[in-house]
Amino acid sequence: TQLLEQSPQFLSIQEGENLTVYCNSSSVFSSLQWYRQEPGEGPVLLVTVVTGGEVKKLKRLTFQFGDARKDSSLHITAAQPGDTGLYLCAGAPTGAGSYQLTFGKGTKLSVIP
């Protein structure tokens, strides 16, 4: 069974601060995806990283995939109240025959104005 551990579970910061969220596993994934979920809604895809060592930037968000394709990080620069939400990482399995994503439990971020 593939597991993804996210840390921290909860994060409360002041507007303008920087933060990093981590997603770790002992398993190798073909890709890692990051989603943001608001209460009562479904997750919304932010980014997919596929290549080991890959770095992607989305405005103030920077995503990195580990060289061994087992871990990932999300860095937010100058956080804003609109960044508040649950950040989920999800791994896609390697090999054929399975299509299920494995999700972490998420990091709940609160950005205080």
* 12 lies in the site for another protein, by CB under 8 A: no
Out of 15, 26, 44, 78, point to the residue binding another protein (CB under 8 A).
Answer: 44
Number of residues that bind another protein (CB under 8 A): 25
* 11 lies in the site for another protein, by CB under 8 A: no
Q: Which of residues 20-39 bind another protein (CB under 8 A)?
A: 30-31, 33, 35
Strands 102-103, 107-112: parallel, antiparallel or unpaired by DSSP? unpaired
CA distance 76 to 110: 12
